[in-house]
A and B are shown apart, each in its own frame.
Chain A
Amino acid sequence: MHSIFWRLIFFISLSLSFLNGGGGVLDVDWSTIDKSQQKPSAPYPDVLTIGIKEVHLPVYLTKSYAYDENMVVVADENFYSISFELEGASLLFEGDKTFQESVDPTNPEFQKIVKQSPPVEYIGAEGMMTAEFTKHGVNYAITIECEDPKKDKRCSETDLIKSLYNGLAMVGGRP
């Protein structure tokens, strides 16, 4: 009887130890930055350069949107969120270098999630189309949200989100 209890205690302790709690800031691997991408063909608009002035992670935007002065930038040193209003849709670029939970690397569930996670994933959910990806150790996302999610192919097919991802350029951010 005693041994069963001890096994239970061991099992529970092990389970709880997987989620260590406690957040922090991820290390950005600046050595993997493609420096050739950093030189813009023309100066970016003030709304962008001023908006991301304090951001301490690489900022990525699809090239064709980097000069759109109608963007809204919300940012601090650890994250950025840049949004655009399109015809019948909104477009959002995000990057964040914080983490909220630290998990024991031996945790089989999270080990599997991280290992099986491809460099970029395209997910259509709740009427939105999202590209989630990791670069330089940081997590990024591009999201398209449509006014008519059932009929608008921008939110039901992956063509646009893929082209947005493939057109990404680093437009700022500093160590």
Chain B
Amino acid sequence: MRYFLLIVSLLLLTACSQKTEYNGKDFAYYPAGVLKPEKSGKGRVGDKYIYAPGIRFPIESAPAYINSQVYGVGGYLGPKGSLCDQKNYQYPWRDNYCEKRGWKMPLCTGGKGHQGVDIRTATCEKKKYYAVAVEKGIITSIGKYTVKLRGKSGRTYRYLHLDSRTLQVRKGQKVKRGQRIGLVSNNMGKTPTSIHLHFDMKQTIKVGTRSKSVFVPPYSSLVDAYKRLLQGRP
């Protein structure tokens, strides 16, 4: 009983904490939902639920960095400087699901926000690092700057901003977990964005006899996947 209460207390403390958590040699991350403070919106603090258990990390190799493209150094609403500033390429990770955006997002406080998370690759170089399939599945569509993977689970994963010319997949192709999809770039058609992978996960949630397809929080699933990647068992 004593141990159970201890675990419960630790869980609560973790959920409420703003401090980073550490794992491995130098990997550190802020808890899920803790967005960049001040002005960037409200995340789902305390929601540590892993919506996509066991997925592979979507970038082929570590390190990679989850943090804000908008509020990071050089971002549209961030401190002045270069998008390639070293501060953007270091731990700790910070969740940016539900970061302020103008569009509807039912799982975000206030009903609006970022549908996924933005991930930077090891260095600020485009077309160098591969995005890979997070689970076995099929490529259902390839848009102007979006690749959609429908996993065996039925969950849909979107990869945005990959380089279109070097995609390793085609529509309707079955892919294995970890298979290369394309190179991370800044592709957003005629209006290039910063170099990063926007990754999101959409799944249908059944509530009684009704259901709703929603973009679910990817951060905790990615933390879990990244820990496994660092441990050499992606």
CB pair A92 B103 closer than 8 Å: no
B16 proximal to A (CB < 8 A): no
Which A residues touch B190, using CB under 8 A? 147-148, 150-151
User: Does the CB pair A72–B206 fall under 8 Å?
Assistant: no
Contacts of B214 in A (CB 8 A): 113
* Residue of B whose beta carbon sits closest to that of A103: B207
Give A120 Cβ to nearest chain B Cβ, in Å. Answer: 13
* Of B142, B189, B212, B216, the contact of A114 (CB 8 Å cutoff): B212
Contact indicator B212/A98 (Cβ below 8 Å): no
| Shortest beta-carbon distance from A168 to chain B in Å | 17
Q: Verify if B231 is at the interface (C-beta below 8 Å from A).
A: no
A41 touches B (CB below 8 Å): no
A92: chain B residues at CB < 8 Å are 141, 143
Taking a contact as CB atoms under 8 Å apart, the answer to whether B189 and A81 are in contact is: no
Is B128 positioned at the interface, with any CB of A under 8 Å from its CB? no
Q: Which of B4, B5, B51, B140 has the most CB of A within 10 A?
A: B140
- Whole-angstrom distance between the Cβ of A147 and the nearest chain B Cβ: 4
Q: How far is the CA of A161 from the CA of B138 in the complex (A)?
A: 26
B204 touches A111 (CB 8 A): no
> Does A40 count as interface, using CB distance less than 8 angstroms?
no
Q: Which of A72, A111, A124 has the most CB of B within 10 A?
A: A72
Q: Chain A residues with Cβ under 8 A from B91's Cβ?
A: none
Q: Is A132 an interface residue (CB 8 A)?
A: yes
Q: How many residues of A are counted as interface, with CB atoms below 8 angstroms from the partner's CB atoms? A: 54
- Would you give the 0/1 interface string for B99-129, flagging 1 where the beta carbon is closer than 8 Å to chain A? 0010110110000000100000000000000
A126 touches B160 (CB 8 A): yes
Closest to A27 in B: B209
Is there contact, CB below 8 Å, between B144 and A125?
Answer: no
- Contact A123 B104, CB 8 Å, known A72-B171, A105-B207, A139-B211: yes
B154 sits at the interface (CB 8 A): yes
Complex CA gap A146/B12 in Å reads 44
* Separation of A5 and B150 alpha carbons in the complex (Å): 42
A100 to B139, CA, bound (A): 18
Verify if A61 is at the interface (C-beta below 8 Å from B).
Answer: no
| A33 close to B (CB within 8 Å) | no
Give Cα A132 to B154, complex, Å.
17
Of A117, A124, A149, A150, the residue contacting B212 (CB under 8 A) is A117
Interface string of A68-97 (1 = CB under 8 A from B): 000010100011010100000110101010
Any chain B CB within 8 A of the CB of A175?
A: no
Q: From A9, A102, A139, A149, give the contact of B8 (CB < 8 A).
A: A9
| Alpha-carbon distance between A26 and B207 when the two chains are bound, in angstroms | 11
Q: Is B22 an interface residue (CB 8 A)?
A: no
CB distance from B224 to the nearest CB of A (A): 15
Q: Tell whether, in the assembled complex, residue A96 and residue B213 are in contact, meaning their CB atoms are under 8 Å apart.
A: yes
Residues of chain B within 8 A (CB-CB) of A72 are 141, 171-172
A104 to B214, CA, bound (A): 16
- Cβ-defined contact, B198 with A96, below 8 A: no
The residue on A at minimum CB distance from B156 is A96
The reply to whether the CB of B77 lies closer than 8 angstroms to some CB of chain A is: no
In the complex, A94 Cα to B51 Cα: how many Å?
Answer: 22
Please indicate the chain B residues that have their CB under 8 angstroms from the CB of A114 in the complex. Answer: 207-208, 210-212
> In the complex, how many angstroms separate the beta carbon of B36 from the nearest chain A beta carbon?
20
Q: Are B204 and A145 in contact (CB under 8 A)?
A: no
Cross-interface CB contact of A81 among B11, B140, B188, B204, cutoff 8 Å: B140
Instruction: Verify if B86 is at the interface (C-beta below 8 Å from A).
Output: no
Cβ-defined contact, B205 with A90, below 8 A: no
Contacts A90-B143, A143-B143, A149-B189 known; list 4 others, CB within 8 Å: A12-B12, A98-B154, A117-B106, A150-B190
Shortest 6 CB-CB contacts between residues of A and residues of B: A105-B208, A98-B154, A145-B143, A81-B140, A100-B203, A125-B103
